Amino acid sequence: MVRITPMASFSVRPSLSASRFTGFSRSGLSIASFNTTRRIALLHLGSAIPQSQYVGLKASEMLRGEGSNLGMTVAGNAAQASTGASSENLLDWVKEDKRRLLHVVYRVGDLDKTIKFYTECLGMKLLRKRDIPEEKYTNAFLGFGPEDSHFVIELTYNYGVDKYDIGSGFGHFGIAVEDVYKTVELIKTKGGKVTREAGPVKGGRTVIAFVEDPDGYKFELIERGPTPEPLCQVMLRVGDLDRSIEFYKKAYGMELLRKRDNPDYKYTIAMMGYGPEDKNAVLELTYNYGVTDYEKGNAYAQIAIGTDDVYKTAEAVKLSGGKVTREPGPLPGINTKITACLDPDGWKSVFVDNVDFLKELE
């Protein structure tokens, strides 16, 4: 059983780019691998860590936690790291790298119940599911399209763990729907919890609503026309917005799509991503006036991002003030190359080699 960390209580801007309300909740856990060889490789790297602390991800994702000191031999990888390149050239390369948000990983207490809610109420599809009884966890991947072209969700259920602490730092996920009112009514008929009724945002015309899944994760429903990426947002709270914006631009190669200050509600948001919001999944970073630190809990894990070169990516992260928690290179026993890092607020991301990721899906 995972120890649930007590949640800090502060009054912060709850979720999204438009509606405001406070409140935090609890949820679930994760790890992953593919065949026996992959599982052995991951176990080898994480053998000193209790299974209940693992972060859910497959070989293309990260292993887990902050500050993991995972020693591994990467013969010949040094030549690929481009450490001889100038900082300026490296950061220029980041802007040109072919990057895409691949999936977001988090933990849930009842996998079947969550899958039912996401498919029946939110319109997602169950893309794949796998049970690993010897490691006592089950993964499920859900989304609005195939993993090779869409941003998707990876859920993890750890045997016997039915609650997690979402903490105060995680905000919400965003889903674009064509009719928010109808979606809200459907969710109500299925017994879902609506925390903000459908209606236009204050001072605007965009129709939104907020709902919660069975574990308490918040979803913002955003009324929008047909879009190639319905799973469109992940909102995280940060302690210094300008610092975060610069980090995500330099280290992750994201664009600042827009920034808005709302002094009436004492928060500022920044939308960061690899393309326009109506066609791509984005990060919504939120700064609440005067709040510089948040409890992260043990429910939300990380985002995985595709890259053409994990070695250059790790160097760029270091140059930009981020912390690399897993040095770049292939996972033992398989060829998938990854690197894992933390942003200045401690939010975790895993960068996965684009070619290797597609091979895994095959």
Provide the pLDDT for residue 360.
Answer: 87
* Angstrom distance (rounded) from CA 123 to CA 234: 18
CA nearest to 299, candidates 27, 59, 84: 27
Catalytic, out of 61, 220, 277, 284? 220
User: Is 154 annotated for ligand binding?
Assistant: yes
**pTM to 2 decimals?**
0.78
User: Is 315 annotated for ligand binding?
Assistant: no
User: Is 172 annotated for ligand binding?
Assistant: yes
Provide the pLDDT for residue 68.
Answer: 36
Kindly report the number of other CB atoms within 10 A of residue 73's CB atom.
Answer: 8
Provide the pLDDT for residue 292.
Answer: 97
Domains and CATH numbers, the chain: 85-361 (3.10.180.10)
The mean pLDDT values, 10 residues at a time, for the chain of 362 residues are: 32 35 34 39 31 38 35 40 66 95 98 96 95 93 97 97 97 97 95 95 90 97 96 98 97 97 94 96 98 97 98 96 96 88 97 95 86
Whether 147 sits among the annotated catalytic residues: the reply is: no
Provide the pLDDT for residue 331.
Answer: 84
What are the two backbone dihedrals, phi and then psi, of residue 267, each rounded to the nearest 5 degrees?
-150, 160
Provide the pLDDT for residue 142.
Answer: 98
- Long-range contacts, 120-124 (Cβ 8 Å, 24+): 120/190, 121/183, 121/186, 121/187, 121/190, 121/192, 121/211, 122/175, 122/183, 122/219, 123/177, 123/230, 124/153, 124/231
Provide the pLDDT for residue 352.
Answer: 97
